[in-house]
Chains A and B, each alone.
Chain A
């Protein structure tokens, strides 16, 4: 099962085995503009749902990326160092940020599904 969930801060999270993959959405990257730098946490670092997990920078803005779920950082996408543009080109795929070892899969339940997120974005305008 490969369901993606979304937060109101435009992060997405997807289960990949027992890890939760986290990134920012296409809407978020289009708002930011060209991504120039991503500041990722260290492996082993603990993040809490709703708290800052990473920072994504474009030329004109810097945005916090909040953890959609709580857990421990198991992997980070270190290709973003050399190629931050992947966040713009493929935000839901190659532009992933971190993989978390989930505390509690039930935390995914109160996040929006794809349809819900689409509606949420439309309401923003």
Chain B
């Protein structure tokens, strides 16, 4: 067996050194009733060739985004990842290393985490960011819990523009961790009055920018109103690339930013692993969940980095931890850092502009098709269409024709019949003019 270095001779010698007759003696503590006499009912060992064949067959049954005109977004976006990123993250010293608890042996990891934290703070316009969480949805729940701790209040207002998965995760945590939510209805073509919901029991208002339907709004006024009421503003960003083109949450007065970083450096991966980003103000740092890389000096006075403020974390505070989180999304954060370093200021702004331009182009073309209405006033690289018919059937019909047309909102809001005709369409730099032609043609046909 190729991954097991011990030979039978080794095993015999080692058992002798230990002073037992057989390996079973070392499992003597297992109760008789729990001892498995035979192998479990699973296939036996296979060589690489066979495993590759089996899994490749499974993979081949799926339609990859890159093989068809592709317009699916909704919190996960298909972007081009430069070749260097994947080579670098696969270096063994990154791939197979552990959490940097022994900093002298992990300056590589700690330095890139420091760079990552800085990049996230710069992008979001915030003062400090952590070393990542599992994904945007859990980051959002963590943001609400942090706001509860900071304000000592127990109820959060969730905008109707928040991604339904993010709302659902907040609901799960609210139920079990013990706090309340005031969930607003989705309003794809309207404006909410969130300020009117503030009160002495509200810890935070959670908005998303661009929101689930792609709409972009200025939340500066809401930020001021929240602060006047003693509440915090949490801004969620599901398409991190948008911050290359639009005003960042920090400049709007956000107190906490919970975001999804998958768009940079990380493939779609059918939804995971993704990358939770979390940023806030310096004065709140001790209430932040997750790991933090901090700068310091070593015994020779040279600059270096360590994990710091660990006393917030579960392995020290135990019951009183800010969160039970142990793992971050390390390698995904590294991929993000590398991709963003390759892009730099010029590349990121150019890439964001390309996305927006492509989306504007397609939106204008689709908006001219009879029966289709664009719901957004403003958008970045994703917008919402109102179709004359239920969107699910249209998407399925286009899928048959080899076009992945977007997300029918009813997939995430099955009970809201008023949203059944709404379709989310995302357009990134990976969409070609040909793709747009085919989409326009196929959807025109499907609707006629």
Indicate if A touches B (C-beta under 8 A): yes
Given the complex of chains A and B, what is the CA–CA distance between A8 and B283 in angstroms? 34
Given the complex of chains A and B, what is the CA–CA distance between A60 and B310 in angstroms? 7
Nearest-CB residue, chain B, relative to A62: B311
Q: Is A117 interfacial (CB-CB < 8 Å)?
A: no
Q: Majority SS of interface residues in chain A?
A: strand
Q: A61-B316, A62-B311 given. 10 additional CB < 8 A pairs?
A: A37-B286, A57-B311, A58-B311, A59-B310, A59-B311, A60-B310, A60-B316, A61-B311, A62-B316, A62-B317
Q: Is B320 interfacial (CB-CB < 8 Å)?
A: yes
* Contact sample, A vs B, 10 pairs, CB 8 Å cutoff: A36-B311, A37-B286, A57-B311, A58-B311, A60-B311, A60-B316, A61-B311, A61-B316, A62-B311, A62-B316
Residues of B near A59 (CB, < 8 A) are 310-311
Contact with A along B286-322 (1 / 0, CB 8 A): 1000000000000000000000001100001100100
Given the complex of chains A and B, what is the CA–CA distance between A60 and B308 in angstroms? 10
Residues of A near B286 (CB, < 8 A) are 37, 39
Interface size on B, residues (CB 8 A): 6
- Nearest first, the 4 A-B pairs at minimum CB distance are A62-B311, A57-B311, A62-B317, A62-B316
Residues of A near B320 (CB, < 8 A) are 62
Q: Which has the most chain A C-beta neighbours within 10 Å: B311, B317, B320?
A: B311
Given the complex of chains A and B, what is the CA–CA distance between A37 and B294 in angstroms? 15
Residues of chain B at the chain A interface (Cβ within 8 Å): 286, 310-311, 316-317, 320
Q: Nearest Cβ in chain A — how far from B41, in angstroms?
A: 47
Q: Nearest Cβ in chain B — how far from A29, in angstroms?
A: 15
Nearest-CB residue, chain A, relative to B308: A59
Contact with B along A38-56 (1 / 0, CB 8 A): 0100000000000000000
Interface residues on A, range: under 10
Given the complex of chains A and B, what is the CA–CA distance between A57 and B310 in angstroms? 10
Nearest-CB residue, chain B, relative to A39: B286
Given the complex of chains A and B, what is the CA–CA distance between A59 and B310 in angstroms? 7
Q: Nearest Cβ in chain A — how far from B309, in angstroms?
A: 8
Residues of A near B310 (CB, < 8 A) are 59-60
Interface residues of A in 19-42 (CB under 8 A from B): 36-37, 39
Residues of B near A58 (CB, < 8 A) are 311
Residues of B near A61 (CB, < 8 A) are 311, 316
Q: Nearest Cβ in chain B — how far from A109, in angstroms?
A: 31
Residues of A near B317 (CB, < 8 A) are 62
Q: Nearest Cβ in chain A — how far from B420, in angstroms?
A: 51
Given the complex of chains A and B, what is the CA–CA distance between A36 and B308 in angstroms? 11
Residues of B near A62 (CB, < 8 A) are 311, 316-317, 320
Nearest-CB residue, chain A, relative to B312: A62
Given the complex of chains A and B, what is the CA–CA distance between A28 and B133 in angstroms? 34
Nearest-CB residue, chain A, relative to B318: A62
Q: Nearest Cβ in chain B — how far from A98, in angstroms?
A: 19
Q: Nearest Cβ in chain A — how far from B128, in angstroms?
A: 16
Given the complex of chains A and B, what is the CA–CA distance between A39 and B311 in angstroms? 12
Given the complex of chains A and B, what is the CA–CA distance between A59 and B311 in angstroms? 7
Residues of A near B316 (CB, < 8 A) are 60-62
Given the complex of chains A and B, what is the CA–CA distance between A58 and B317 in angstroms? 11
Q: Nearest Cβ in chain B — how far from A11, in angstroms?
A: 18
Nearest-CB residue, chain B, relative to A52: B320
Nearest-CB residue, chain A, relative to B315: A60
Given the complex of chains A and B, what is the CA–CA distance between A61 and B317 in angstroms? 7
